[in-house]
Structure 1
Amino acid sequence: MAAIVQFENVGLRYGHGEEVLRDVTFALAPGGFHFLTGDSGAGKTSLLSLLHLAQRPSRGVIRLFGADVVTMPRKRTAALRRRIGMVYQDFRLIPHVSIADNIALPLRIADAAEQDVREAVGEMLAWVGLAHRAEARPATLSGGEQQRVAIARAVIARPDILLADEPTGNVDDAMADRLIQLFVSLNRLGTTILIATHDRQLLARVPGAQTMRIAAGRLTETTIGARPPLRRERA
């Protein structure tokens, strides 16, 4: 099975500083569930920014969906980026609009029909258990509720890959379990998942996931779980 993500000897530096990522090489299979672990400052967020096409590497090769994104013109990366959902650690919700409108944003940017938007938002709100808070503003929600809104917004456009940066870092254990189950349910529909976390205990909640560890900008450990990638079940 061809890899959905390939990094080959990738390095990243900001400006003229030292490299924050060094000789990073790995591949992700489609439909897999993956963790990226490491201490704060190890390079997890920088690696996610490359995957989300927010940055380009200083050197090396990155292929997403079989395309070389390093040499690709920037205007062509927009279509690829729509196939990648991103859940940010700080949520990045728009404070002055409802959570329903926050979730709808990716579809409205894509000029989806308003009836389709309303139906999709309703499904997402029910999926994350927040249908009763559809008109609430983000500031009135708990941290766990805001994280669920961020997840719903990231997946409403049905991305092939979902990236999450410390998605359980600001919630208690019970909410962390609930959030992980949302990611697992997405993975069972075929979405490739990559969760960056410094919490090693989180890994035990998804037996068979692939684990990559990063330290000082280098991948130091890769463990492939026994569970095979799940096949996409979308209609």
Structure 2
Amino acid sequence: MANIVQFENVGLRYDTGAEVLSDISFTLGTGAFYFLTGSSGAGKTSLLKLLYLAQRPSRGMIRLFGEDAVTLPRKRLPGFRRRIGVVFQDFRLVPHLSAFDNIALPLRVAGVPEAEIAEPVGEMLAWVGLQERTHARPPTLSGGEQQRVAIARAVIGRPEILVADEPTGNVDPDMAERLLHLFESLNRLGTTVVVATHDFQLISRIPRAHMMRLDKGRLLDPTGSLRHPAGPGL
């Protein structure tokens, strides 16, 4: 399996503070499924920011899609980001757009003809159980409904990488399982999926998934020991 992501000895600090991530080294295989776990403050969200290019590392090397992401020119960042779907903890929906238009946004940005947008967006709304909320704007949606719109928006373009930060935190267990099935279906089509979660019941639903564990900004191996900075990937 080819690697779509490679981190080597990556460190991250904000401003002049202490490192929040230290000596992070791993690879992600194309088309694989990963869970990222760790206690609050372990660095999960910071690691995801590096993955979806919202943050550059303070040191180390990151390669995405076979290219050096650390030195990537700013003008190329939008094209790279369109290959990555992101589900944020705080949703980041556009408040003045309807649920339909929020989900359609990645397709429109990618230049998909308007005539080819209605059908896939309608299918996504049905899949996440919001077909009756098509025209609703985010301020009128519950937290769980906003989460479902955010997930639909992240996956509608079939990204090469899907990064999800606690994606089932605001939905009931039945919907959580349904959304996980959506991620798994996307994964089976070839998307590399990385889901940060505290929910070990969720993790048990996909036994073939790989586990990444963070502790105080450092990556642990499956035994709970620190990985050697120059050690093998996952």
Q: 2:149 matched to 1:149? A: yes
- What is the CA distance between 1:157 and its match in structure 2? 1.8
SS in 1 for 2:78: helix
- What is the CA distance between 1:86 and its match in structure 2? 0.1
Q: Specify the alignment match of 1:104 in structure 2.
A: 104
Inter-CA distance 172–131: structure 2 relative to 1 (3 Å threshold): closer
Residues matched between the structures, number: 223
Inter-CA distance 62–222: structure 2 relative to 1 (3 Å threshold): farther
- What is the CA distance between 1:80 and its match in structure 2? 1.2
Provide the rounded CA distance (Å) in 2 between the counterparts of 1:188 and 1:122.
22
TM-score when scaled to structure 1? 0.89
Q: Specify the alignment match of 1:120 in structure 2.
A: 120
SS in 1 for 2:48: helix
Provide the rounded CA distance (Å) in 2 between the counterparts of 1:98 and 1:70.
35
Map Cα deviations across residues 171-192 of structure 1 (whole Å, 9 max, x no partner). Answer: 2322221221111121122211
SS in 2 for 1:153: helix
Stretches of structure 2 that go unaligned for 5 or more consecutive residues are 224-234
Q: Specify the alignment match of 2:177 in structure 1.
A: 177
Map Cα deviations across residues 49-73 of structure 1 (whole Å, 9 max, x no partner). Answer: 0000011101111011111111221
Q: 2:24 matched to 1:24? A: yes
% identity of equivalent residues: 70
SS in 1 for 2:171: coil
Q: 2:19 matched to 1:37? A: no
TM-score when scaled to structure 2? 0.90
Q: Specify the alignment match of 1:137 in structure 2.
A: 137
- What is the CA distance between 1:112 and its match in structure 2? 2.5
Of 186-195 and 42-51, the range deviating more from structure 2: 186-195
SS in 2 for 1:4: strand
Q: Specify the alignment match of 2:50 in structure 1.
A: 50
For 1:219, the aligned partner's letter is L
CA RMSD, Structure 1 to Structure 2 (Å): 1.5
Contact 2:158 2:186 in 1 (8 A): no
Q: 2:83 matched to 1:83? A: yes
Map Cα deviations across residues 48-103 of structure 1 (whole Å, 9 max, x no partner). Answer: 00000011101111011111111221211221111000001121112222100111
Map Cα deviations across residues 22-58 of structure 1 (whole Å, 9 max, x no partner). Answer: 0001111111110000011110000000000011101
For 2:107, the aligned partner's letter is L
Provide the rounded CA distance (Å) in 2 between the counterparts of 1:32 and 1:65.
14
For 2:200, the aligned partner's letter is R
SS in 2 for 1:41: coil
SS in 1 for 2:21: strand
For 1:96, the aligned partner's letter is H
Provide the rounded CA distance (Å) in 2 between the counterparts of 1:141 and 1:17.
38
Q: Specify the alignment match of 1:232 in structure 2.
A: none
Of 157-166 and 120-129, the range deviating more from structure 2: 120-129
- What is the CA distance between 1:5 and its match in structure 2? 0.6
Contact 1:7 1:27 in 2 (8 A): yes
Provide the rounded CA distance (Å) in 1 between the counterparts of 2:110 and 2:185.
25
Stretches of structure 1 that go unaligned for 5 or more consecutive residues are 224-235
Provide the rounded CA distance (Å) in 1 between the counterparts of 2:137 and 2:78.
29
For 2:152, the aligned partner's letter is A
- What is the CA distance between 1:137 and its match in structure 2? 2.0
Provide the rounded CA distance (Å) in 2 between the counterparts of 1:96 and 1:72.
33
